[in-house]
Structure formats: C-alpha cells, structure tokens
Amino acid sequence: MVRLGYTLEDVSVLFGLPLGYVDVAGEMPVGEKIRILRREVDPIDDAALIRVADGDFQRDGAPLAIDDNGGTDLTDDIAALVESGEIGSNPRMVFLQAVGQRIIGLERDR
C-alpha cells in the first residue's frame, strides 16, 4: 500500500465498505486494521497474478496453447475500426461494420 500510495481508507472504499469502516473502534494498530479488512475479501493468489503478468497463461496447470494463424480475426478488425475513428462509438455499429467487411472480403476471395 505504501509503495502504491494507498491508504486504508482507499482500500476500504475499493472493497465497497463504508468510509471509516476500520476506524470505528478508535485508535488501533495498522496491522489489526489490515487483519479486519482481510476478513472482508477472498485471499489473493500472488503467485498466479505474477505468473499471468509475466505472460505465463495456464489451464489446469499446463501452459495454455494459443494458436496464432498469422491472420487477423474479428476482434482485430473491431480494434482497427475503433482505432481508425472512421466509425462512431456505437458498439453495435462497430461490430456490424467489422462483420460486414469480413463478408465482403469472403465474397471477393471466391
């Protein structure tokens, strides 16, 4: 928390707890306040977070194989449309435009 510049109040709010949640008993050591907050959330698996941040994706303990067919997919097409700014921000229209472009491409390649 110190390294990231967060306070216990910030953490309480992040957990959806009311302001002053850990201050209701008056002055108590920070360690005790953290212990109280820990009871309110599920434990975090640090090792899994670090592993995923390092790009080591797994499924059932084995490395996740992601096929890269070297081409673009619909998600890439949608991202390109959003980045280009050629189409409005309506998600439905962006999706339909990307699908339409794929259909035109398939027809052209026949």
Same domain (yes/no): 12, 59: yes
Phi and psi at 31, nearest 5°, equal: -60, -40
What gap in Å lies between CA 43 and CA 96, rounded to an integer? Answer: 41
Where would I find the H helices in 1-110?
8-14, 30-38, 46-53, 74-84, 91-109
Same domain (yes/no): 45, 83: no
| Domain hosting residue 85, numbered range | 74-109
Reported as a single tens digit per residue, the pLDDT across 43-102 is 878 888 888 888 888 888 888 877 666 667 888 888 888 888 777 768 888 889 889 988
Same domain (yes/no): 84, 51: no
Same domain (yes/no): 99, 78: yes
Cβ-contact 33, 59 below 8 angstroms:
no
User: pTM for this one?
Assistant: 0.37
Measuring CA to CA, which residue among 25, 23, 27, 3 is closest to residue 12? 23
**pLDDT confidence of residue 48:** 86
Same domain (yes/no): 51, 28: yes
What is the count of structural domains for the chain?
2
**pLDDT confidence of residue 46:** 84
For residue 40, being part of any structural domain is answered with yes
